[in-house]
Amino acid sequence: MQELNNKIAELLTNNLVSIFISYKRGLNGKIKPAFFTKPDEVDENYFGDEAQQNLAVYVHKPEVKKYSKVGILANIFALKALLQLYAENQIKDNYLTIVTVNQDNKVIVFADFNEIESYIAQHQIEKNTDEHKEIDKLLSLPREERWEFWVEQLSSCIKCYACRAICPMCYCSKCTVELNQPQWISVPAHSLGNFEWHIMRMMHLAGRCINCQECSRVCPMDIPLHLLTTKINSDMEEEFGQIAGTKTTLDFALNTFKVDDYENFIR
């Protein structure tokens, strides 16, 4: 992808960025994140179908932040994540130069987040009907059977927190599980502790998750976390008309209070 490589090299040469986050092929042939700091490194750059990881997660990393001007190659999910992060005030102005390659292989360097908002509006992600069929099948089960399904799935969790580490929206400097006064969530990976962790995480993500499904991809135990993320996303859309990662301004039902709320407990 010569046009992309040229653009990245140009950004580095002209000092518009001091580090550029993209992809490259690793020693074992798999595609992995690349962190280019010099133009001659860009020959290793990869772009294509094998580039899966959502790179937006790296914009929080202190080792990356210290470069102050960071460039990033963002696929559609990374764009949504970055837009949501921007809406949540997690991205300083002039920190990022965001680049994407559209379906016609054209390289786009976004001038600002308003452009990203328009781009995302024009590139809707199709709903995965297989996933929704699986969710509907689970919802059709009696409550006890659905419970048993998740007990079995979550009992294999080893609390490695790969799901948390890979998620661009999990950026808390001290995660709830790392607090011990009180110990909100059990640390050991027993069944109850695993339930507490996953339920809490989904609740903290509802309305913010952009459904990139990286958490599910990276889980060593193959827990179908994507079923949970897809469900919370469709619930937020149905109940509140909200889709995360689509606006530059925060529109978050779960922390918004309206005086004319039809529930009276809050009045």
Partner 1 sequence: MKILSGKIMNYKTLKIDNLDLFFNEIKKSGKNLLVTKKKGTTTYFSSFININDVDFNYIQTTISPKSVLFPKVEELISFKKDDGIYVMTEPNIEKETIVFGLRPCDAVGLEYLSNFFLNENSDFAVKLRKENTTLITLACKNFDENCFCTSVGLSPASTQGTDICLTDIGNGLFHVEIITDKGEKLIAEHSALFSNAEKINKENYVAQVPLKFDCDNFTKNIKDYYNSEKWVVNSLSCLGCGACAFVCPTCTCFDIEDETNLVCGTRLRCWDSCAFGIFTLHASEHNPKPMQSDRWRHRVLHKFYYSKTNMDTISCVGCGRCIRVCPAGMNILEQILDLQEA
Partner 2 sequence: MENNNMYLPYLMKIDKITCEAPSIKTFKLKFINKEDEESFNFKAGQFGEYSIFGEGESTFCIASSPTRKGYIECTFREVGKVTSALANCEEGDIIGFRGPYGNTFPIEQWTGKNLIFIAGGIALPPLRCVIWNALDLRDKFKDITILYGAKTVDDLVYKYELEDWKNRNDVKLITTVDPGGETQDWTGEVGFVPHILEKYPPHSNNTIAIVCGPPIMIKLTMPILMKLGFTNENIFTTLENRMKCGIGKCGHCMVGNNYVCKDGPVYRYDELLQLPLEY
CB 22 within 8 A of CB 44: no
**# chain residues binding partner 2, by CB under 8 A:** 3
DSSP state string for 104-132: T--EEE-SSHHHHHHHHHHSPPPP-HHHH
CB 171 within 8 A of CB 90: yes
Find the shortest distance in angstroms from Cβ 179 to partner 2. 9
CB 174 within 8 A of CB 219: no
String of contacts with partner 1 for each residue 240-259, x by CB under 8 A: --------------------
- Of these, 89, 140, 173, 180, which contacts partner 2 (CB under 8 A)? 180
- In angstroms, the CA 163 to CA 6 distance is 34
Give the range of 18-26, 152-160, 176-184, 196-204 binding partner 2 by CB under 8 A. 176-184
- In angstroms, the CA 39 to CA 12 distance is 6
Binders of partner 2 among residues 183 to 202 (CB under 8 A) are 183
Write out the H or E segment, with its range, that includes residue 236: helix 225-240
Find the shortest distance in angstroms from Cβ 156 to partner 1. 8
String of contacts with partner 1 for each residue 7-36, x by CB under 8 A: -------------------xxxxxxxx-x-
Parallel/antiparallel/unpaired status of strands 70-73 and 96-101: parallel
> What is the CB-side half-sphere exposure of residue 212 using CA atoms within 13 A?
30
String of contacts with partner 1 for each residue 144-183, x by CB under 8 A: --------------xxxxx-xxx-----------x----x
For 237, list phi and psi in degrees, rounded to 5.
-70, -45
Give the list of residues 6+ apart from residue 71 with CB closer than 8 angstroms, or none. 8, 11, 12, 16, 17, 19, 20, 21, 96, 97, 98, 99
Residue 106 or 190 with smaller CB distance to partner 1: 190
Question: What does 181 interact with, of partner 2, partner 1, none (CB < 5 to 8 A by kind)?
Answer: partner 2
| Cβ atoms within 10 Å, residue 126 | 5
- Of these, 63, 126, 144, 238, which contacts partner 1 (CB under 8 A)? 63
Residue 176 or 246 with smaller CB distance to partner 2: 176
Find the shortest distance in angstroms from Cβ 183 to partner 2. 7
Residue 181 binds partner 2 (CB under 8 A): yes
Question: What does 90 interact with, of partner 2, partner 1, none (CB < 5 to 8 A by kind)?
Answer: none
Rg (CA), the chain: 20
- Name the site residues for partner 2 (rule: CB under 8 A): 180-181, 183
- Name the site residues for partner 1 (rule: CB under 8 A): 26-33, 35, 53, 57-58, 61-64, 158-162, 164-166, 178, 183, 186-190, 193, 214, 217-218, 220-222
